[in-house]
């Protein structure tokens, strides 16, 4: 996993599978 702050990680998980465009960093991994 990328070394992202808790806020980024939570946001990524929240939008995971729903609005990927909201968290492009997560999709990059």
Residue 17: per-residue pLDDT: 59
Sole residue written with tokens 């729903």: 18
Residues of the domain holding 8 = 1-28
Total number of domains in the chain: 1
Residue 29: per-residue pLDDT: 46
pTM of the model: 0.17
Q: What is the pLDDT of residues 1-29, one digit of tens each?
A: 566 556 665 666 555 555 545 555 565 54
Cβ-in-10-Å burial (0-12, 13-18, 19+) of 8 comes to middle
- Asked if residue 12 lies in contact with residue 4, where contact means CB atoms within 8 angstroms, the answer is yes
Residue 15: per-residue pLDDT: 54
- The token pair that represents 17 in the structure block: 């599978």
Angle value at C-alpha 1, between 3 and 24, nearest 5 degrees:
85
């Amino acid at each position: 996993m990328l070394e992202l702050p808790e806020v980024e990680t939570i946001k990524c998980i929240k939008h995971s599978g729903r609005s990927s465009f909201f968290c492009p960093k997560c999709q990059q991994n």
